[in-house]
A = this chain, B = another copy of it.
Amino acid sequence: MATFDFSLIQDDLQRVEHKLHELAAVDFPPLAGILGQLLKSGGKRLRPALVLLSADFYGATRDETISIAAAVETLHTATLVHDDLIDNSLLRRGNPTLNTNWPSGVVVLVGDYLFGKSAELASRARSIDMGELFARTVATICDGEVRSMLNGSPWAITREQYDYRIYAKTASLFATCTEAGAIVAGAPEGERALLREYGRSLGMAFQITDDILDFVGNEKTLGKPVGSDLRQGTVTLPALCYFESHPDDPALRELSSGAVREDAFDDLIDRIRASGAIAAAYKDAHRFSLQAKEALSTLPQGRARRVLLDLADFVVDRRT
């Protein structure tokens, strides 16, 4: 299994961690408690790492780079806070979600607060391009989410709609991370576009793999029932591939009519797992992973590039 090694940026990741701790250290204990729980809960810090690694091609880390890395993690956290509220999720990274302990009004406002703070951190780079990039990213993420939610026939999703949804949900922020790293470090225009393309493809591969793991992972490592996306009404790539190759499966009609019993879901999920749909979905994930690596081919060789190449393998090869 592929691994990746963040030792190259370990000190800088520590500085990001410190910046997130500072953000949580407000002078109002109830808010400080909530922010501490959200911002210090670890996680992979994949998005800050993408900022730092992309900037690493172009010299020593600037203070502004650390602010941007903290900004993307804060933005990501803001979206998770609202997502967990909307999905009524109870656990996140093994901890109770904010919405299990607080009224929804608090959760809405804490999410908004984090959106505001992420914009403030991003503005510290004092770059017009960075400001535009951040604003566009927030707008894209929200556009994708609101369209998914308002879609009246979620079972009839097309491949284009799926691609847009995962771009908006995941890949747009990955692309912003790598482009932001390039901007803050002063990369030439062409390399900035290549790093953005790397981030976008990496994000697509990452999200497709997430969607596959929801079907093939086991309940223990997933921390949720197998096929929970489908059970909750979200059609992802494995289901899409399955229905494309099995247009006559009666489940499709049952889903459209909204009359699916829990054990029918169990059977359908088994059929999807046993079909070629998982392999077909993995083919797509690998295609995006390859695109990500190709985007790096003309970038300066060195440790940052090696880590990013490894990461493109890791995101599809991981088991959790």
Given known A115-B115, A120-B135, A143-B116, contact A150–B31 (CB-CB < 8 A): yes
A141 touching B116 by the CB < 8 A rule? yes
A136 touching B109 by the CB < 8 A rule? no
| Number of A interface residues in the complex (CB < 8 A) | 43
A150 contact set on B, CB distance < 8 A: 28, 30-31, 34, 106
A119 touching B119 by the CB < 8 A rule? yes
Of A121-129, A205-213, A288-296, which stretch is located at the interface?
A: A121-129
A36 contact set on B, CB distance < 8 A: none
A139 contact set on B, CB distance < 8 A: 113, 116-117, 119-120
Given known A106-B149, A106-B150, contact A82–B112 (CB-CB < 8 A): yes
Q: Tell me the smallest distance from the CB of A145 to a CB of chain B, in Å.
A: 5
Beta-carbon contacts under 8 Å, A46-102 to B: 82, 85-86
Which single member of B86, B110, B113, B126 contacts A132 (CB below 8 Å)? Answer: B126
A123 touching B116 by the CB < 8 A rule? no
7 cross-chain CB contacts under 8 A: A28-B147, A30-B152, A86-B108, A106-B149, A108-B108, A109-B145, A119-B119
